[in-house]
Structure 1
């Protein structure tokens, strides 16, 4: 049963089947590339790849495995943002951005110690996030969301600049992926 509102929101955003000639990921349905579907044992036509199969892959590999469920206990809005980013560009990317921003916002270590930017959500990252939100509160959560979206937008711009075919997607990426709304 599909009950995780974050995964359901990501699935809605990802939409149905697409196989755009400029997309290096190839055939995709529900945000799952054909390669990923095959890696998880799916052998059928991607046009028939089910929402439930996609849900299972997303929840396991883009929610629990990277530890966004742990972030959700601290900040559901940040967990949604990280999961959505992770679905689009890989979980490690968003986690590293979070870690970098946490380091930048620690007032030279006065609020909490710097953490290693390793793309893993471990105790140090969770402790730093808790300390950041304790110090900055709800406003800080909004600033962190904005910060993560700035990094994401910059990444999309670099993708479009480095591969002209990505210009086919940048408007949609910015419109659909870079926002402060949560489910």
Structure 2
């Protein structure tokens, strides 16, 4: 989902995640335990919620999504030159963690820099800072509009590989692989 208006675009991304994640779930194979609106109990507790997960207010989930998965990893800075990429990274961050999503971006930028001719390799620090933003801008400046689509595909490829690896290393995760691929990639 491309981002065009900063005032409501993040809200639209959050609404889409909440719609996909649904209400209360406590799947026996989900190591995250009880969730509501896609927020795990552990994350809710880290952000001050002490009540029963079945009663987690939607407004609390929205605030957690905005703060933890959009503002803290600085996806708003990515959204300026690459709104579609920022939306993909947000969804990846929700499902795999912000550091993993940013790591995927950094790995993709490193693989696409034509052996350092376009910009230097990034340290894989899993944080969006000046170097990552400079590399992103250099990549987009060189590759143009199609470049953003290629970066999104690269992030999704890394995400898909991780899903398969999770299922291979923990067979109980196979219960989720079909849904992860169907709902999170492409």
What's the TM-score once normalised by structure 2's chain length?
0.92
The superposition leaves residues 87-118 of structure 1 with CA deviations (integer Å, 9 ceiling, x where unpaired) of: 11110101111111111111111111111111
Give the Cα–Cα distance (whole angstroms) in 1 for the partners of residues 50 and 110 of structure 2: 43
1:56 to 26, 46, 63: 63
Report what 2:115 is aligned to. Answer: 108
1:47 to 16, 30, 54: 54
TM alignment of 1:92-131, pairs within 5 A: 92-131=99-138
The superposition leaves residues 57-87 of structure 1 with CA deviations (integer Å, 9 ceiling, x where unpaired) of: 1101110001111101111111111111011
Give the Cα–Cα distance (whole angstroms) in 1 for the partners of residues 171 and 165 of structure 2: 10
The superposition leaves residues 138-160 of structure 1 with CA deviations (integer Å, 9 ceiling, x where unpaired) of: 11111111111000000000001
Bigger relative contact order, structure 1 or 2, given CA contacts below 8 A and separation 6+?
1
Q: Which runs of 5+ in 2 are unaligned?
A: 1-6
1:153 to 160, 163, 167: 160
Matched, 1:72 2:79: yes
2:33 to 1, 6, 26: 26
Matched, 1:174 2:171: no
Q: What is the SS of the residue equivalent to 2:51?
A: coil
What's the TM-score once normalised by structure 1's chain length?
0.94
